[in-house]
Structure 1
Amino acid sequence: MSAVSKLLPRGWGRARKGARVAEAFRVTRRAYHEDLCVLERQLQDAPERMRGACRDLHGQAVSDHALAAALVHGATDHHDPEHREALERAGHLLDEARWALAAARAEAAGRRRPEDHAPCFFNAQHGPASTTVRWAPPGGACHEVSTCAADATRISQGTEPDLRLVHTGEGWVPWYQLPRTTADGCAPPVVEQLDTEPPAAPSSLEEPSGRS
């Protein structure tokens, strides 16, 4: 045991972990509440004359939204693994609901459905990703990330993607820097899980604009 460890109160490490789990749970739950509100408005703006597959896909989006809402509203205790698992599942349902809505709109317009169910890396509210780009956070290595067409265009034109910011106890933070709620507690931020192989000419983010 190090000299520093001897000076720390018993349970200090567990207390720090508990605080991280609590903060991740609080921030995630708040973000999902906002996602539910945004998605509800998008669902109300339904394609006209929905028939067949379009109607079925829109119905799937509505159902997934309702299930996600029930899970988020019922997940209130960060100490309870079942509540944390419910919040984690709600995130997956929100992704599926966004995909189904995008697919319904594509059917209505005679376009191909989105192939990727994963959300846009920069802001899940943009809907499912449609392409990949090379991108680097400020001061970080470049990564390949999945993104929506609009953000891919912004990056290709040398401007910044519409990055989602989430309010925490330390102010506004890019969502990818936040720990993620899991049944076991919390997982490391997404940005720590990305490939760190540097490209020839990385782009960067300086002042992301989207807020939650």
Structure 2
Amino acid sequence: MAAAVFLLLFGFAVPAQADDVSQIANGLTGSRLYVTTDARAAVPEADQAAIRAALDRRTDADVRAVVVQSGVGKNRLGPMLEAVAQRVGEGKTYVGITADGRMMGISKDLSGQEINQLIARTSGGDIKTRLIRFADLAETKADEKAHAGMVGAFVMLGLLVVVVAGASGAFLVVRRRRREQQAREMAELKRGVEEDVTLLGEDIARLDLNVMDPDLDPAAREDYEKAMNSYDRAKSATERAARPEDMHAVTEALEDGRYHMTAVRARLAGDPVPERRAPCFFNPQHGPSVQDVTWAPPGGPARSVPACAADARRVLNGESPDVRMVPYGDGRRPYWDAGPAYAPYAGGYYASYGGMDLLSGMMIGTMLGSMMSGGFGGGFAPGDMGGGFGGDTGDIGGGWDFGGGDFGGGGDFGGGF
């Protein structure tokens, strides 16, 4: 009897222990609604079932709700929602509502202002009505954002397509114009080189040397045959040439052929065979140079260049040399001012005498010289996910926006639940 009386007087008077964060998080792992032990009287089982069913249907909003006892303030409710969200690890919006109807929330998708607006639109109803209404409104808002995001994505995709199409079109136009320019330059270069090859062939034909003559000087015969072989090489290389670089082999063969023709004439005349020197700078068609002279292009610095006898005489007398003029556009201009296509052309003539190193010094102040000096050859709106969860205290960092709801504006929350 005494034990029974003691139990009646003191046992039922012991308050039930409040649910902790771990219990609430475990409950929300398998359900979108958790009603704490001390708040169950405020939400009948039938209402809880209706709320769960409504929350389960609103998958886009992905709302999880916690009902707590009356009198819990925001300084406890806010950190509890943070800590629970951290432990559960899923869900986009968490709302807490007290048994006396005060409500607040945190969300990854909704800003604090949007949470407050939705909570305000649910005011005036009981807990079941408010939570179901909040889930409906959050679902609508989530669908609107998804639609807006899709529209934005399509707009961005459209803009991207336009930009890519524009860039591709511009690239194709530039490439087509570049190819047309290269084809035009190659055609001009080929005409110029063919003139050089033809001139060498005419020079050989004019000599009309009978290589079968037994009285012919064997050395002259050998030089003449070398000149003809060089001409054949130059002619074949010209026919095969498809790029400006291919002309290097042509002019290298032409330089060789012109020297051997000079040697043949010297032998036939009984004169000493001249020293093999670089071709005449002013016009490689003139054959080997005989001396170096100081010359300056219009507006350019003076430099030493190899010259044939005739051009050396002109320069030393203050006259203009006989410059090799090549096809360029609708007219002709000096080969050193006819564009980059003539760089391999010039390089072949001087390949055995220093090549581009020699040319770069002689070409200072010309178009080819300037070319040789350079060498041949999506944002996130407020409330978007912004970081991971922190410790169990609810310090989860960025990513969650607070809506104070019935408690007023959100802010920093201290304490625990």
TM-score (norm 1): 0.72
Match of 2:302 in 1: 142
The residue type paired with residue 204 of structure 2 is L
Q: Which moved more, 1:27-36 or 1:10-19?
A: 10-19
Aligned length: 183
Tell me if the contact between 2:300 and 2:364 (Cα under 8 Å) persists in the aligned partners: no
Tell me if the contact between 2:191 and 2:327 (Cα under 8 Å) persists in the aligned partners: no
Is residue 217 of structure 2 the alignment partner of residue 57 of structure 1?
no
Among candidates 183, 187, 192, match of residue 26 of structure 1? 187
Match of 1:41 in 2: 202
Displacement of 1:182 after TM fit? 8.3
Tell me if the contact between 1:133 and 1:147 (Cα under 8 Å) persists in the aligned partners: yes
Tell me if the contact between 1:29 and 1:72 (Cα under 8 Å) persists in the aligned partners: yes
Displacement of 1:180 after TM fit? 4.9
Among candidates 174, 181, 193, match of residue 360 of structure 2? 193
Equivalence map 1:1-212=2 (5 Å): 9-10=170-171, 18=179, 21-46=182-207, 50-75=216-241, 77-78=242-243, 84-181=244-341, 193-194=360-361
Deviation string 1:140-181 (CA, Å, 9 cap, x unpaired) is 111211110110001111111111211211522111112354
Alpha-carbon distance between aligned partners in 1 of 2:342 and 2:315, rounded to the nearest angstrom:
31
The residue type paired with residue 10 of structure 1 is F
Alpha-carbon distance between aligned partners in 1 of 2:291 and 2:307, rounded to the nearest angstrom:
6
The structure whose Rg is larger is: 2
The residue type paired with residue 273 of structure 2 is R
Tell me if the contact between 1:143 and 1:195 (Cα under 8 Å) persists in the aligned partners: yes
Match of 2:74 in 1: none
What SS does structure 1 have at the residue aligned with 2:183?
Answer: helix
Alpha-carbon distance between aligned partners in 1 of 2:364 and 2:341, rounded to the nearest angstrom:
27
Displacement of 1:195 after TM fit? 5.1
Match of 2:6 in 1: none
Displacement of 1:127 after TM fit? 0.9
Displacement of 1:93 after TM fit? 0.2
Alpha-carbon distance between aligned partners in 1 of 2:288 and 2:202, rounded to the nearest angstrom:
17
What SS does structure 1 have at the residue aligned with 2:171?
Answer: coil
Alpha-carbon distance between aligned partners in 2 of 1:177 and 1:167, rounded to the nearest angstrom:
11
The residue type paired with residue 31 of structure 1 is G
Alpha-carbon distance between aligned partners in 2 of 1:93 and 1:180, rounded to the nearest angstrom:
21
Displacement of 1:40 after TM fit? 1.3
Alpha-carbon distance between aligned partners in 2 of 1:35 and 1:153, rounded to the nearest angstrom:
23
Displacement of 1:110 after TM fit? 2.4
Distance 1:119 1:15, change over 3 A: farther
RMSD after superposition: 3.4
What SS does structure 2 have at the residue aligned with 1:158?
Answer: coil
Distance 1:196 1:175, change over 3 A: closer
Alpha-carbon distance between aligned partners in 1 of 2:279 and 2:252, rounded to the nearest angstrom:
10
What SS does structure 2 have at the residue aligned with 1:137?
Answer: coil
Match of 1:202 in 2: none
The residue type paired with residue 168 of structure 1 is Y
The residue type paired with residue 22 of structure 1 is A
Match of 2:384 in 1: none
Displacement of 1:52 after TM fit? 1.0
TM-score (norm 2): 0.39
The residue type paired with residue 40 of structure 1 is G
